[in-house]
Amino acid sequence: MVQTAARNGIGRVQRPRPEVSTEDMNYYDKVEAAAAALHESVGPADVAVVLGSGLGDFASGLAGSKIIPYGEIPHWPASAVIGHAGQLVAGTMAGRRVVALSGRAHFYEGHDLWTVTFATRVLGRLGIPTLILTNAAGGINTAFKPGTLMLMDDHINLLGSNPLVGPNDDRFGPRFPDMSEVYSKRLRDIAVGVAQDTGLTLAHGVYAAVHGPSYETPAEIRFLRTIGADAVGMSTVPEAIVARHMNMEVLGISCVTNPAAGVSPKPLVHDEVMEVAKRVRVEFSTLLEGIIGRL
């Protein structure tokens, strides 16, 4: 069994004993093995950022960065989606130690939700207290134009499952974690302050997570609007649930890259998602850097 990392990320984490084979390791052991390897190679961090489709350029702004391809981290799931580099970048920004994940595993790729949230579990076991989740999303709210940055005030989980389904491991968190404030009000207030001070426009809204990978139909978008969603995407929510299960403080930011189906007569294509995400990379990086600097 791997020795548990200190919750504040300080202290030596030992690698798993060599007599434990991969086949014999349970989920917790695999998380601990990945956390041990990362602690040895990059050390502790103050904040982790998960970068959505087309938003990976932010990682290039980290000073003194060290890049680790996902394939070199024990048990870490691959990221095969266009716009996801599939690498962890550790470095410094605004005086804080930052771990940035350029790419994530998605439910629609055929992974189960324990695999989808494996990286989040590892970040939590590294003792990282703050997690910033970002994504590219479709705009349901007709006031949102492509390029709008939306602060996630809450979410609606329509994935058809929950990453906490199954046996609960109390070493990760409680059986029934509270979700009344998934996205930290303190962090949202910081984000609003940064936007005001830098002249950025920051919208607020509710994010709906759907299974994918097909884009939604116009009827589905009308349904989502009726139940209170402002943007829709295929990620983020499982990670947020698991992070709160592990008592991490979470902030969510969506880049609205396109109007959702039925909002615009144009068909939806992934190339447009990538193009708009790259167009707003300066504003996006400015916002994230400002938030990190005020943590």
Please identify every residue annotated as catalytic: 53, 84, 106, 108-109, 136, 234-235, 258, 270
Angle (nearest 5°) at CA 203 between 202 and 204: 125
**Residue-by-residue DSSP string for 155-207:** EEEESSS-TT-S---TTT--SS---TTSS-HHHHHHHHHHHHHHT--EEEEEE
What's the CA gap between 175 and 153, in Å, rounded? 24
Contacts of 186 (CB under 8 A, 6+ apart): 249
Distance CA 113, CA 91 (A): 28
Distances, alpha carbon 41 to alpha carbons 21, 25, 88, 196, in Å: 22, 22, 11, 37
Helix, strand, coil percentages, rounded to 5, for the chain = 35, 25, 40
What gap in Å lies between CA 3 and CA 132, rounded to an integer? 27
Element (H, E) at 33: helix 27-42
User: Can you tell me the distance from the alpha carbon of 114 to that of 242, in angstroms, rounded to the nearest whole number?
Assistant: 9
